[in-house]
Structure 1
Amino acid sequence: MDVLLTVVVPVYAVEGYLYQCLESIRAGLTAEENAQVEVIAVDDASPDSCGLMLDGYATRHGDLRVVHLTSNVGLGLARNAGLVEARGKYVWFVDSDDWLPSGSIRAVLDKLRETEPDVLLIDHLRVHENGRLQTDASSPMLRGTVTLDRLLAVQHTAWNRIMRRDFLTKHDLRFPAGWYEDVPFSNPVLLAAERVEVLDRVCYHYRVGRFGAITATRSERHFEAFEQWDRLYAWLDATGVDQALRIRLFTLMISHLLVVAGNDSRVHPRRRRQFFRRIAGLYRRHRPEGYQPPVGTPGIKHRLVAINSYAMYSALRTGYRVAGLRRRSTERTPVVSQDLPSAPQRVQTTSLR
């Protein structure tokens, strides 16, 4: 039986999470379904015991292919290494510190067979270290009347989209090196696709706040986001993307970079001014004709970027943080215990043509 889906799992320093991830991929599959799925784990020269764990898992189960890289290349290039080895018609990049809720692979296989899209988007839940589940702010974009404009606002990650492998080859879509590698990959994936389908079902549990994760690590490497957005704009220029979509992407870019700038877990306060200045430079370089800032507080921040006023941005940020602390101190928040769901409830689907 031909392989329908290849799951590529890049692995680096995730000893405590690796087995949960691997076990979740094939859990509950029938023999026929199992034969349609291959799993490729890429050991990105992990400094811990992950390489040995992968080899042991492959020996015990016989349904895991392991690729060992001789040097650490980073998440994006490790995904590329797995893609080279893939045999499936579709490929799904699953991060090794995350996991799939029960029934996810079966639901994805069914949708792929039914619709044969270039790209299939799935929903996810954010899972905090204390077990709290949180719906992503962009998840509503997967429901209702689905348009490309709305889908571009869905979190731009690799793991929430399953892609036809020959589609990636046709458009030469690969991950670049560096942090924020999803930016110049995940957006072109949607823009180049002729057929995008949506599976309105939680098929992924995304672990947030994990110690050692990029999004929870204060580092100078967050400045690499600017190079990645420039890469995306080079692709947009080369392919001649519609002006309305360029405006949409520009708005999303500035909003994304402002989120990074305001996150103390990523950008050191002493480096925030420089980060803001870089956002302003990107704003001037890529601002499309016809762009209007969004409404409300986000629009105020966009306008401050436009005039490169870090002093006013800093004062606004401080004011909102103080107000938020005061509000939380006067509120009594009930503690709600919530177990991880074994099977998400939403199963509606929609498509973009």
Structure 2
Amino acid sequence: MQTVRFQLGAAIVFFGLLGNFCPASTRAQLQGDVPPPQQLTNAQTAPKAQPASSIAAPAGKKRLSKDFTLKGDSTWTDTGINVSPGEHVLVTAIGKLRYTDAKDDNGPEGLPRGFKDLLRILPFNAAGRGSLVGRIGDGDVAQPFLIGASHDVVSPISGHLSIGINQSDNDTGEGSYTVHIDVYSADPTSGATLAIAKSVTALPGIDNSLFGRIPRRIADKDGNPGDMVNFMILGPEAVMQRVFSAAGWVKVDADVKGTVLHGLIVSLSKESYLTMPMSQLYLFGRPQDYGWAHAEPISVVASRNHLRLWKAPFTVNGETL
């Protein structure tokens, strides 16, 4: 049985590994590093996606700058930039794309979501088609985030920074985006700290006597045994919810009545419906307290990654299990 002790930065890494994303193709043209400002001449001035004043510079030291051109037929591009926890990544972008079925061109903020987007599988389904998006870490598990025309993101983990266009491989646009990236070192004076995942061989209170208090199998309503209980989470309940949400998992609807209402609301809002309820199974004499799912629109009906969590009726050294 595995045990996970929650510290926000570390837990995001752990639960990011539970996700299931398909890596997309990578095609882009690297324009090259931007020389430091004092080395630029009028002939050498590097193109900027937006004025520097559009985003306030972080307090940390700028350690690198790069410019890229993303062609309209590309999806994901590995920038070759490795970022560390706590570093600020400032991204600005300009440019236009045009999709054959769109009435107008769109910029890095993407097209407004429409009902057709409910049928599309995009890298980041919460944003419009054609928007500029990013991710940090392995493409199979990293959770994409919206960049748009400009964004300042603080990296929660170490990993490769990738940028891309929010579109599927068989539905690409014409045009390009010019993207400028500045990376600032973590500010040591900010007082903010990010926990780094560490491997431990033991935790106080996690021993055979604890395992003896936990049923080995879950059961259905009639008491028929089901799957084995195969991991534990130790830490605050609110942090657990925040970590799952940050890693792209969604809390499923509790019942069919809630499903109908929620499905109607998100559809009218032109959002993808991913919170289809799962069957109730029992541990500690009651159904699951949380059902979490990770899936793509459309395919959620056929298959999705999911898990159930039960809050133990006891604590471990004062911490929630």
TM-score, normalised to structure 1, is 0.26
Q: Tell me which structure has the larger Cα radius of gyration.
A: 2
Which structure dedicates a bigger proportion of its chain to strand? Answer: 2
- Which structure has more relative contact order (CA 8 Å, sep 6+)? It is 2
TM-score, normalised to structure 2, is 0.28
